[in-house]
Structure 1
Amino acid sequence: MNSMRAVVFAYHNVGVRCLKVLLARGLEVALVVTHKDNPAEKIWFDSVAALCAEQDIPFVTPDDPASPDLIAKVRAAEPDFIFSFYYRHMLPAGLLALAKHGAYNMHGSLLPRYRGRVPINWAVLHGETETGATLHEMTAKPDAGAIAAQVAVPILPDDTAHEVFGKVTVAAEQALWTVLPAMLAGHTPKLPNDLSKGSYFGGRKPEDGRIDWLQPAQTVYNLHRAVAPPYPGAWTSLGTRTFIIAKARLSRQQDLNLPHGLGVKDDCIYGMCGDGKAIRIDELLENDKPVSPSELQHALECAQRHPDTTITQE
């Protein structure tokens, strides 16, 4: 179809799907750079390395994308394009310059909004109703280059970040599929990426999932949605015990008359929030095991009988 060559830095579902788009559009993928799976991380996503093995595509898993050995490999591949699809490291300017027709990254937001790390989780946390995928030119500054393509998706009121990630993966595939013919013909769009109209966000840690029950119910619910499994989950503590909310929804129940934090009423688990509203918790976990309403009630009663054990909810 054409003789264009690409070097692809890729990981995760977005990496797999976008790599498949390049192959379907007829690009020669000369080299793929991916990550070794971290044994400490829950791997719930597809493997770029497995796809490369299946398709007989050369791939490497260097720890440092700025290593001289990798840069020499990329230079030897003589790429027309360099693509980054959910690769977790910034690529050095010297490496980007090796692409004859430019280097492009697929970002999981509608740039210039939500630049930086874990953009889908941040968008859900902030109660956004829309996000998407943006293919943009890579520059020395992250997520700052001209926009080549963009596709939006809705964030519905009860969507978790994991569900939105599935939509954004499809949006990334659509954006790349649609713009590739123009890119291969030498007419890559360059739309403005006005950084003054967006914000940059950093990474998130499991500790950031701690629930403050004095916040409004919608805020607590958004936190749950943003970090619900397979992410680490929103959590609360009762003494030395830690509970993670796996499934929840905003409660329509009125006059629950429960204190802030976890509570049980009519054999249902609730989380009472600072505005007097609650989230109904349909699945509560402790050490990855479901906690029943009766088990939680027992824990709460023990806490009331033994206040000297400093059992608190945070």
Structure 2
Amino acid sequence: MKIVFIGGVNSSLIALKKLIEHNVDIEMVFGYEPESTELVSGYNNFATLCIKNNIKYTPFNKINNHINEIESLNFDVLFVVGISQLVSEKIINSANVGAIGFHPTQLPKGRGRAPIAWLVDEVQDGAATFFVLEKEADTGAIFEQVCFEVVESDTALSVENKLLKAMAVALDSLLPKIKQGEWNPTPQDNSLATEYAIRKPDDGLISWSLPAYKIDRLIKAASEPHPLAFTFDGDSKIKVLSSRIEDAIKITGMTGRILKVNQSEALIQCGSGLIWITPEPHYMGQLKVGQLLGYRLELEVFKLREELRQLKLSIGDKL
């Protein structure tokens, strides 16, 4: 049973290592090598691992640029794990037996984009789900689904760690069957399907008028390996590593203002409730009690109008 593998992140690495561990005949690995890894959550490069295990490796930026190369390979099963690009039907159909995809939700629930962030945001249990890869994303029949729990204290990183453990269990069950030629997936019940939409780095902007609970969920969902939630202090963009809701301290302040500061955290008044935030270390020294985080639109418009008025006066004087 010859395999072609496509991937590029932490979940891909677990899958590739399991393929090697189970002595699967890997014909070729296509590894995602983006122009910039900054916005690729959990990026991993497989070149060294492939060299170590004498596996042929091809880097890619856009996998659909390699259609002809993949079609020329004589292989049985295609594994696509951990890339956000939609794979061409020609690539999917190039496998003699079929293609297997991966998704970290309890399909048919949670199809779509940014699933780990959404699981954290909504406190929804996830799953390591391997399914038949088809033209329509995340809709194929399911081979294996190993579920895991998501709780309110979870962050994107802790959920990813739970996912990777579930993946290992799922692959230990799936790969022996694939090697024996077993191909008997269970169709999804489309009546139960839900979908997650794309999340982008700018969606990590914190709106301090929201309740503390919602802000806490956003910060945890956007946490590493994602690009992080953020706020503003004047001209500075402050990224937030973590957060915790404060229930014991009885203090009331104006929304968005810093109420207390310790060595690594700042306590902020939210639309309702209080939250401690931990910014990246180099920002911590900038935070002082009484500072306003974020922008108040009318104040910012007034400042801009005043700067424009002064600029006009200055230009007029020079004329």
TM-score normalised by structure 2 residue count? 0.84
Q: Is the 8 A contact 1:256 1:265 kept in 2?
A: no
Cα distance in 1 for residues equivalent to 2:185 and 2:141: 5
Q: Report the Cα distance in structure 1 between the residues aligned to 2:204 and 2:61, rounded to whole angstroms.
A: 29
1:139 maps onto 2:134 in alignment: yes
**In structure 1, distance between residues paired with 2:226 and 2:282:** 16
From 78, 81, 84, the equivalent of 1:88 is 84
Partners of 2:106 and 2:47 in 1: CA distance: 28
Change (3 A) 1:262 1:56: farther
Per the TM alignment, residue 16 of structure 1 is displaced from its structure 2 partner at its CA by 1.2
Judge conservation of contact 2:34–2:60 (CA < 8 Å) in 1: no
Pairs aligned (count):
297
Does 1:7 find its partner at 2:8?
Answer: no
Shift of 1:42: 6.2
The answer to whether the 8 A contact 2:7-2:31 is kept is: yes
2:58 to 43, 57, 60: 60
Name 2:242's counterpart in structure 1: 247
- Structure 1 pair 42–116 and aligned structure 2 pair: CA distance change class (3 A): closer
Percent identity for Structure 1 against Structure 2: 25
User: For the residues of structure 2 that align with 1:84 and 1:177, how far apart are their CA atoms?
Assistant: 17
Is 1:149–1:189's contact at 8 Å kept on the other side of the alignment?
no
Alignment gaps of 5+ in structure 2: 305-319
Q: Which has the larger radius of gyration?
A: 2
The offset of 1:168, in angstroms, is 0.8
Q: Which moved more, 1:255-264 or 1:80-89?
A: 255-264
How many angstroms apart in 2 are the aligned matches of 1:269 and 1:251?
11
How far the C-alpha of 1:49 sits from its partner, in A, is: 2.3
CA apart distance, 1:234: 1.5
Partner of 1:212: 207
Rate the CA distance shift 1:209–1:291 in 2: closer, same or farther, 3 A: same
Match of 1:164 in 2: 159
| Mapping 1:79-158, distance limit 5 Å | 79-128=75-124, 130-158=125-153
SS in 2 for 1:182: helix
RMSD, aligned CA:
2.6
Distance of 2:86 and 2:190 partners within structure 1: 18
Q: Find the aligned partners of 1:19 and 1:143 in 2 and give their Cα distance.
A: 20
Deviations 1:51-101 (A, max 9, x none): 11222211112333333xx33332333111000011232211122112122
Conservation of the 8 A alpha-carbon contact between 1:6 and 1:80: yes
Against the structure 1 CA distance between its residues 134 and 60, is the aligned structure 2 distance closer, same or farther, given a 3 Å change threshold?
same
Structure 1 residue 159 displacement after superposition: 1.2
Q: Which of 176, 180, 199 is equivalent to 1:185?
A: 180
**CA offsets 1:224-258 (integer angstroms, 9 cap, x no match):** 00011342211222332322221211112242112
Letter in 2 for 1:64: K
Determine the C-alpha separation between the residues in 2 that align with 1:175 and 1:19: 13
Tell me how far 1:300 sits from its aligned partner: 4.8
- Preserved contact between residue 270 and residue 279 of structure 1 (Cα < 8 Å): yes
How many angstroms apart in 1 are the aligned matches of 2:137 and 2:260? Answer: 48
Name the residue aligned to 1:31: 28
- From the superposition, tell whether residues 234 and 76 of structure 1 become closer, same or farther in structure 2 (CA, over 3 Å): same
What is the CA distance between 1:103 and its match in structure 2? 0.3
Q: Which residue of 1 aligns with 2:317?
A: none
- Cα offset for 1:127? 2.5
Q: Which residue does the alignment assign to 2:220?
A: 225
